[in-house]
């Protein structure tokens, strides 16, 4: 068996999710090649070559892939991937965008968002927003798979010494072009891979009050998230949303502040190792999944939390 | 310009999902069914394009058993002009759904196809992208804004880390995210009128598509449930527990 992993990156650094996907590939077993497609991605290819368990890194460096347009990536990956038994990428918004095109171009099914590998053709994935867990067997000769990064512990980022090979395949479908982007700038860790996440919900009352959470986050080296209610109310931007339709997170510590715990939110965080809930409503469903619950007014509890943390950190 | 909208009949999003005791799937007997929420957003977007004078006709299509006609009628009540029902009692997976929709696209030649980004049952997030690839169209997935401008459509997409805008040649495929719009409710007079709007039924065979699932579900289980932990009295106890018991700070 031979497995092609499509690296997730932003043209400046390799995303940790790629290491989780390589771990999923190792669980399948076989030679693992990594494809790095983007623009000016030499350093990323070198980083990928150091990842544990990688056999070869293939590089497609061209402006056509600079903004990860699905039309171009889809054609590239379908062509490069057709000699492999499995094609894997992370189930981030880029992977979710281009991977089904790859499957359609190869006339095979896609298995989305797997959290476990049972065998080379059988995978486990959540359905119904995580309210049911399905074991699925794929019969196509090429398995096209997106991987939920939190389902797999990442392989080591260092220690490997894969060869790096340049590809001169340029696929520009000419169907789409990049217009612009608004990316949130933050020095805090990436929500999807942070070890600690502190999230606010509707109980935060407005966007300014999220500064309280940011101060605590900076103390703990945490990422800041939000519930869908807080995003829909316009307190914070959509990329902070944790939940079924937002980011799926599984940090060591998840602190839910003023979040009631709708199923939609729980689907995005219930695999966290330790969950803390701070909410003034003691009947809030979030307490049913929390390891430590504090029934309190968050506007009193959070400043106290910050003070207590300063004592121990 | 003609707009094609695909809608799916799924379990109502308010219903508590229960796995069948024999682990063969989710219990759908006597459960309330509804239009997939992302598909409602797709219908709403098409209706708004029509209200703005951008869209001239909205065709709504659904694939599945006879009962799907309820969801098509709902879309017609919301403002779609006519319906197409591709009737089958078989399980239709994303790739087959995309092939069936491709056949409809070839017949109807819409300028824009709008779908939900995923259905809340299988959570696959595939059909729109597969349809775009099979028909050779560009795609604007996870859309939070759609602006048609001459022979192009600008789609603002919700991506990891923020928003990204792409320009697509028409015809194109758009898949909706939650914040694209807030769907309206159908009024009673419109529900009555929708009953008289045209609805064509056809089979997958009529469209030359064979339903041959590539994925088989071996079992479906309930997720491991988390146990509720303890309540702490105050912040000091919380920090103490996190440090000395859970050892996560």
User: Two tokens at B86?
Assistant: 């591709």
Q: Residue A131: which of B17, B93, B98 has the nearest Cβ?
A: B17
CATH number assigned to the domain comprising residue A197: 3.40.50.1220
> Is-contact A201 A258, C-beta < 8 A?
yes
CATH number assigned to the domain comprising residue B33: 3.40.50.620
Three-state DSSP string of A211-269: HHHHHHHHHHCCEEEECHHHHHCCCCCHHHEECCCCECCCCCEEEEECCCCCHHHHHHH
CB B229 to CB A239 under 8 A?
A: no
Please tell me the predicted confidence (pLDDT) of residue B245.
94
Listed by number, the residues of chain A in 289-308 with a beta carbon closer than 8 Å to a beta carbon of chain B are 289-296, 301, 304-305, 308
User: Two tokens at A180?
Assistant: 């612009």
**Chain B contact for A129, CB < 8 A?**
yes
Structure confidence by residue, pLDDT tens digits, B18-67: 999 999 999 999 999 999 999 999 999 999 999 999 999 999 999 999 99
Asked if residue A176 belongs to a domain, the reply is no
CA distances from B87 to A133, A285, B68, B92, B214 (A): 28, 40, 8, 11, 20
- DSSP three-state, residue B240: helix
CB B139 to CB A97 under 8 A?
A: yes
- Using pLDDT thresholds of 50, 70 and 90, give the confidence band for residue B125: very high
Domain end (from A132, A166, A200): A166
Residues A270 and A150 occupy one common structural domain: no
Asked if residue A184 belongs to a domain, the reply is no
Residues A159 and A196 occupy one common structural domain: no
- Say how far apart CA B95 and CA B210 lie, in whole Å: 11
Structure confidence by residue, pLDDT tens digits, B155-210: 999 998 889 999 999 999 999 998 899 999 999 999 999 999 999 999 999 999 99
Domain range for A158: 2-166
User: What b/e readout covers B130-146, taking b as 16+ CB neighbours within 10 angstroms?
Assistant: bbbbbbebbbbbbbbbb
Please tell me the predicted confidence (pLDDT) of residue A190.
85
**Chain A contact for B168, CB < 8 A?**
yes
Domain range for B94: 2-221
Residue A312 neighbours by CB distance under 10 Å: 11
Please tell me the predicted confidence (pLDDT) of residue B13.
87
Asked if residue B238 belongs to a domain, the reply is no
Structure confidence by residue, pLDDT tens digits, B66-121: 999 999 999 999 999 999 999 999 999 999 999 999 999 999 999 999 999 999 99
**Chain A contact for B190, CB < 8 A?**
no
User: Two tokens at A218?
Assistant: 């900076």
Please tell me the predicted confidence (pLDDT) of residue B209.
96
**Chain A contact for B167, CB < 8 A?**
yes
Asked if residue B100 belongs to a domain, the reply is yes
Please tell me the predicted confidence (pLDDT) of residue A263.
86
CB A134 to CB B144 under 8 A?
A: no
Q: What are phi and psi of A286, to 5 degrees?
A: -60, -30
Task: Compute the mean pLDDT over every residue in chain B, rounded to the nearest whole number.
Answer: 96
ipTM (interface pTM): 0.94
* Residue of B37, B125, B153 to mutate, testing the A interface (most A Cβ within 10 Å of its Cβ): B125
Listed by number, the residues of chain B in 57-86 with a beta carbon closer than 8 Å to a beta carbon of chain A are none
CATH number assigned to the domain comprising residue A140: 3.40.50.620
Nearest CA in chain B to A69: B166
Asked if residue A245 belongs to a domain, the reply is yes
Mean pLDDT by 10 residues, chain A (313 residues): 97 95 98 98 98 98 97 98 97 97 98 98 95 96 96 95 95 97 84 92 97 96 96 92 89 97 91 96 96 98 97 90
Residues A225 and A306 occupy one common structural domain: yes
> Is-contact A79 A171, C-beta < 8 A?
yes
Residues A216 and A120 occupy one common structural domain: no
CB A109 to CB B167 under 8 A?
A: no
Count of domains for chain A: 2
Nearest CA in chain A to B118: A245
Asked if residue B190 belongs to a domain, the reply is yes
Asked if residue B247 belongs to a domain, the reply is no
Query: Which one, of B136, B99, B111, B93, lies nearest residue B56 by Cα?
Result: B111
Q: Residue A113: which of B123, B226, B229 has the nearest Cβ?
A: B123
Asked if residue A117 belongs to a domain, the reply is yes
Counting Cβ atoms within 10 Å, is residue B230 exposed (0-12), middle (13-18) or buried (19+)? exposed
- Say how far apart CA B58 and CA B51 lie, in whole Å: 11
Residue A288 neighbours by CB distance under 10 Å: 16
Q: Residue B124: which of A112, A293, A301 has the nearest Cβ?
A: A112
Residues A133 and A281 occupy one common structural domain: no
User: Two tokens at B17?
Assistant: 């999902």
Residues A27 and A149 occupy one common structural domain: yes
Count of domains for chain B: 1
Residue B34 neighbours by CB distance under 10 Å: 18
Nearest CA in chain A to B169: A175
- DSSP three-state, residue A284: coil
Structure confidence by residue, pLDDT tens digits, B209-229: 999 999 999 999 999 888 889
């Amino acid at each position: 068996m031979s497995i092609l992993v499509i690296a997730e990156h932003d043209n400046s650094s390799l995303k940790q999710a790629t290491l989780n996907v390589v771990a999923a590939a190792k669980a399948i077993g076989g030679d693992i090649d990594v494809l790095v497609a983007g623009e000016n991605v030499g350093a990323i290819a070198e980083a990928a070559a150091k990842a544990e368990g990688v056999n070869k890194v293939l590089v497609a460096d061209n402006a056509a892939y600079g903004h990860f347009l699905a039309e171009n990536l889809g054609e590239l990956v379908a062509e490069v991937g057709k000699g492999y038994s499995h094609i894997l990428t992370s189930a981030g918004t880029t992977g979710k965008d281009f991977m089904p095109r790859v499957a359609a171009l190869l006339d095979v099914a896609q298995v989305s968002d797997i959290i476990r590998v049972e065998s080379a053709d059988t995978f486990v994935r959540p359905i119904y927003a995580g309210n049911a867990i399905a074991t699925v067997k794929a019969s196509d000769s090429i398995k096209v798979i997106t991987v939920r990064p939190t389902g797999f512990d990442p392989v080591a980022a260092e220690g490997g010494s894969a060869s790096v090979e340049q590809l001169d395949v340029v696929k520009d479908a000419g169907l789409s072009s990049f217009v612009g982007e608004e990316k949130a700038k933050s020095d805090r860790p990436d929500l999807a891979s942070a070890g600690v996440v502190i999230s606010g919900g509707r109980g935060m009352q407005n966007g300014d009050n999220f500064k309280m959470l940011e101060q605590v986050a900076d103390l703990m080296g945490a990422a800041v998230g939000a519930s869908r209610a807080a995003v829909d109310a316009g307190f914070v931007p959509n990329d902070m949303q944790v939940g079924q339709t937002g980011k799926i997170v599984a940090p060591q510590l998840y602190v839910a502040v003023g979040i009631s715990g709708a199923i939609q939110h729980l689907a995005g965080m219930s695999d966290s190792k330790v969950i803390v809930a701070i909410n003034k409503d003691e009947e809030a469903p979030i307490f049913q999944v929390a390891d430590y619950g504090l029934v309190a007014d968050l506007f009193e509890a959070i400043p106290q939390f910050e003070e207590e943390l300063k004592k121990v950190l | 310009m003609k707009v094609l909208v695909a809608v799916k009949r799924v379990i109502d999003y308010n219903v508590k999902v229960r796995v069948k005791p024999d682990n063969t799937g989710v219990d759908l007997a006597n459960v309330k069914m509804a239009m997939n929420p992302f598909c409602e957003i797709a219908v709403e977007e098409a209706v708004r394009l029509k209200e703005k004078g951008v869209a001239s006709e909205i065709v709504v299509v659904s694939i599945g058993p006879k009962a799907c006609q309820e969801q098509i009628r709902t879309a017609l009540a919301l403002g779609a002009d006519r319906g197409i029902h591709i009737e089958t009692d078989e399980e239709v997976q994303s790739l087959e759904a995309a092939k069936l929709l491709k056949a409809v696209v070839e017949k109807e030649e819409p300028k824009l196809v709008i779908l939900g980004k995923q259905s809340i049952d299988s959570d696959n997030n595939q059909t729109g992208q597969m349809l775009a690839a099979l028909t050779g169209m560009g795609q604007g997935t996870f859309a939070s804004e759609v602006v048609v401008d001459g022979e192009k459509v600008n789609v603002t997409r919700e991506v990891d880390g923020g928003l990204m805008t792409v320009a697509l040649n028409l015809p194109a495929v758009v898949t909706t995210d939650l914040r694209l719009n807030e769907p309206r409710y159908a009024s009673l007079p419109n529900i009555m009128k929708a009953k008289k709007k045209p609805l064509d039924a056809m089979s997958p065979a009529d469209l030359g598509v064979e339903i041959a699932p590539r994925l088989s579900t071996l079992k479906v289980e309930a997720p491991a449930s988390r146990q509720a932990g303890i309540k702490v009295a105050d912040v000091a106890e919380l920090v103490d527990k996190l440090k000395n018991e859970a050892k996560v700070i």
